[in-house]
Chain A
Amino acid sequence: MSNQENIEKLESALGRINDAESVVYFLTYDTKTNARASVKYIYDLALTLNKNGRKSKILVEDKNYVGVSSWLNEEYSELEVVSIKEDKIELKIDDTLVVPEYYANTMQQLATIRCIKVLLVQQKEYLFETLPIGSRYSEYGFDKVITTTEKAKQYILEYFPESLVYVIPPIIGDNFKPIELPLKPYVAISCRDRAVHRKLISEFYLKFPQLRWITFRDMVQMSYDEFASNLKECMVSLWVDDESTFGTFPLESMKCNVPVIGKIPDTEPDWLSENGMWTYDGNKLVELLGTYILAWIDGVELSQEVLDKMKNTLEPYDTLKTKDNILSIFTSIVNKRVESIESALTKLKQEETV
């Protein structure tokens, strides 16, 4: 390719960026109608950008992708879904490709693509799963990383110090809000491991037979709206997810004024404080739950101090703040590309004049 052709290519890339024609592609996996916070996170990023004039598309493996219409509301349907196989997407240097850690195995193949490449890390435990031993993501051009917590950022920087790491916490939707009705004697239970889920309920009913009438609400197989409306009428949430990096469920509970009893995950969430009933020992959960429920039916109410702590916990995760954060991070990522294009252009033009 001649210098002149390169100059034209770079100038048209700048033109597309200026005209907001560049696209941010979010590589997304298919949950087959199952609601997943990690996929909602990706859709939230894409939707926020799309609504603010940055064209975003959901990139999927093939046309068999089921989509999220069964569990996310209609708002998300504005996002165009394109498939790698059928739509044969051509990624330009001004486009952005966001790849979640789930697809880390594809990075080697993506190494030669010249678009802006961003690694999305929601579960840092999966970072090394498909990465050849001793390799770095930056070797494949992934030197920008988006993650959800400060702790995950520190972890990534410890092993990949060359990365530019941005933190974007998940959006805790505004459909999570306290109800005006009195709370019901239901426990919203969310456990990553189904065996733990069963064990906790069994132990609870055996240890507190006088509370066998308490209902456990299994917070799976629900649309996002159903999830919110089911959660907000519960008197307490029970959360066990050792692998959790961020911990969306406890924050959703707190936003509904539903207190949380939980096992502290292997990586402590950034927001962990005296804003719930936390333990490192999973064996204590049932005792904590029973004690709390007995107090609740006896009329003991959460103190204002605890309610304030729950509210304060949520402050950094305010929806508007998070959306602003998303926009400014992607603007910064694109601006860096603009700078590098402009600098390349200057060089090429100088060469032309020589």
Chain B
Amino acid sequence: MKNITVILPLHKLDDDYKVMLDNALTSVEQFHDDVKLSIVCPSNLKKELENISEKLEIEIIVNDGQTDFCSQINLGIDKCDTEWFSILEVDDEYKTIWLKSINDYIKIYKDVDVFLPIVKDINPEGKFTSFTNESAWAYGFTEMQGFIDNEVLLDFQNYQISGGLYRTKVIKENGSLKENIKLTFGYEFFLRLTHNGVRVMTVPKVGYQHVNMRDDSLFWEYKNNDSNKLTEPEVKFWLETAKKEFFFKNKRDVKYEIV
């Protein structure tokens, strides 16, 4: 019985994406006994994705509405019927120890609802740039080493939602990602979870590899694309917005306005 769904959002499938997707799927295939895959994508990609892996149990969830990252993930969560789910970005991959290391902790920490791996960030050339999620283990950083708390999050935003393992029921109760919050939707999500008493733990093993600033990625757009580029005041605005909005389970209208 598979009790984990990996949700992979996809909005297009050009040649570059095919290479990335193949790599991402290979990383999931190593857990095919325990994990099923939900690819959330526009209907025009469905046919091409149907037989994409022989090993994996795959569900294609068609989304012809908003195909931004958050909306796709939310749809995946909504359709998820397993105890746990994880989020995989198309250009990322799970490391071999992802499942084993998280399982080691699930067995012991039964009251934890979110397990984050240490994420190894690499640049588009494949070179190591940094770790993410690891700071939860720094001495004196959080109230309890290894766990992320709301107070710390108010000062420190750098946590990665992809690659984490989430208890589906708990996330459904607490609300999913708010797509109307640009840039800081992940931050708001963690603030909301910790504010509501959800225990979030970092497993001190590198379980996930994330490509930072890949050309045409959402965050690359925010930083480099003239039409989507966020200015300093905008970044600040979205951080402040996340801090105001995490009290609310569902998204509310957010009007961008620099005072």
Contact = CB atoms under 8 A, between A and B. Distances in A.
A184 B138 CA distance: 11
Given A298-B95, A299-B97, A182 B137 contact: no
A181 B110 CA distance: 12
A317 B138 CA distance: 36
B204 A297 contact: yes
Interface in B87-101: 95-97, 100-101
B145 interface: yes
- Interface-centre pick from B95, B128, B139 (highest chain A CB count, 10 A): B139
A184 B131 CA distance: 17
Nearest to B133: A213
B206 A182 contact: no
Nearest to B130: A210
Interface residues of A, number: 13
B146 A184 contact: yes
B240 to A, nearest CB: 27
Given A181-B108, A182-B104, A212 B137 contact: no
Contacts of A185: 137, 204
Interface of chain A, helix or strand or loop or mixed?
Answer: loop
A212 B139 CA distance: 10
Nearest to A298: B206
A42 to B, nearest CB: 34
A298 B146 CA distance: 17
A181 B203 CA distance: 12
Interface string B140-166: 010001100000000000000000000
B105 interface: yes
Interface in A209-243: 210, 212-215
A184 B145 contact: yes
B145 A215 contact: yes
Nearest to B204: A185
Given A184-B204, A297-B204, A213 B101 contact: no
A294 to B, nearest CB: 9
B118 interface: yes
Contacts of A215: 137-139, 145
B138 A212 contact: yes
Interface in B119-144: 128, 130-131, 134-135, 137-139, 141
Contacts of B145: 184, 215
A321 B204 CA distance: 38
Contacts of B139: 215
A229 to B, nearest CB: 15
A34 B145 CA distance: 27
Given A210-B130, A210-B131, A297-B206, A184 B137 contact: yes
B205 A297 contact: yes
A212 B101 CA distance: 21
Given A297-B205, A297-B206, A299-B96, A213 B138 contact: yes
Contacts of B96: 299
B100 A299 contact: yes
A299 B95 contact: yes
Interface in A176-232: 180-182, 184-185, 210, 212-215
Contacts of B134: 213
Contact of B108 (A182, A210, A213): A182
A344 B146 CA distance: 70
Please list the 8 inter-chain residue pairs (A to B) with the smallest Cβ-Cβ separation, ordered nearest first.
A299-B97, A213-B138, A215-B139, A185-B204, A213-B134, A182-B104, A185-B137, A213-B137
Given A182-B105, A298-B95, 12 more contacts: A182-B104, A184-B137, A185-B137, A213-B134, A297-B118, A297-B204, A297-B206, A298-B97, A298-B205, A299-B100, A299-B101, A299-B206
7 contacts: A181-B108, A182-B108, A210-B131, A213-B137, A214-B137, A215-B137, A298-B205
